[in-house]
Amino acid sequence: MHLTLSAARELSAGPEPQGGIAGWAAGLVETFGGPGAGAAIALENVFPPLPSEIILPLTGFAASQGVLSIASALFWTTLGSVVGAVVLYGIGAVFGRQRMHAWWAKLPLVTSSDLLRTEAWFARHGTKAVLLGRMVPVFRSLISAPAGVERMSLPVFVALTATGSLVWNTVLVMAGYWLGDQWDVVGAYVGVASKAVLALAVVALAGYVVLRVRGRKRGRP
């Protein structure tokens, strides 16, 4: 039994429009094997709305059906993760600190000292942020741009990205491999985690804005 577009759409049927994404990813994997899975994950890194929690388990399911090997699935998806992350790193590097400071100065409720503190934090904890951020939904893509802005050593960035991505990819690919035709269950659980992370980020941002507004009001004569 081989993975087909129709099978992927049926397996991903649900209230969210995942069938199209699953069918697209299934087509890439079925046609190109490991390189197709790698291309899908590279695009997922550059465009976070493409969910790795759908693409990676589906790739594992494809491996369970003999479309590609587990080794090929992990190698190509990790390579795709690194390629996508390097693209975002490059965008951050081109954007640069000067442009970042100029853009930051135009934002309301923030000061240059806020950005300086953020840069200082990244200088101290950037390696951990890149490594662990690759295993956190939503932030796994976003963390690459600030690494580029701060000009983290590219070999270090690639090594950390590859290590963190390999862990994340292995968990989701193997889950899809073991679950077989129930691979889409993985997406449901990881999707909940992604929404929880996003909700926490929104709450943190809202709290920051409130504190800033109150601080400015208190500072008025």
Q: What is the tens place of the pLDDT at every residue in 114-144?
A: 656 666 767 777 888 888 888 776 677 778 8
Which one is predicted more confidently, 194 or 135? 135
Tokens standing for 86? Answer: 């390097």
3-state secondary structure of 135: coil
Write down the mean pLDDT value for the chain: 74
- Residue 31 carries which side chain, given as an amino acid letter? T
Is 204 a residue whose pLDDT tops 60? no
Q: Are the CB atoms for 90 and 144 separated by under 8 Å?
A: no
What is d(CA 107, CA 73) in angstroms, rounded to the nearest whole number?
43
Position 62 confidence tier, pLDDT thresholds 50, 70, 90: confident
Mean per-residue pLDDT, 180-206: 58
3-state secondary structure of 15: coil
Tokens standing for 96? Answer: 């640069």
Which of 42-51, 64-73, 152-161, 188-197 is least confident? 188-197
Position 51 confidence tier, pLDDT thresholds 50, 70, 90: confident
Residue with the two structure tokens 């390999």:
166
Which one is predicted more confidently, 171 or 189? 171
Which of 51-60, 95-104, 122-131, 170-179 is least confident? 95-104
Is the alpha carbon torsion for 125, 80, 145, 47 positive or negative?
A: negative
Is 33 a residue whose pLDDT tops 50? yes
Burial class (CB within 10 angstroms; exposed 0-12, middle 13-18, buried 19+) of 107: exposed
Which of 97-106, 176-185, 205-214 is least confident? 205-214
Q: What is the tens place of the pLDDT at every residue in 81-92?
A: 999 999 989 888
The DSSP output letter for 110 is -
Is 5 a residue whose pLDDT tops 60? no
User: What is the chain's alpha carbon radius of gyration, rounded to the nearest angstrom?
Assistant: 20
Is 43 a residue whose pLDDT tops 50? yes
pTM: predicted TM-score of the whole model, two decimal places: 0.71
Domain layout of the chain by residue ranges? 5-219
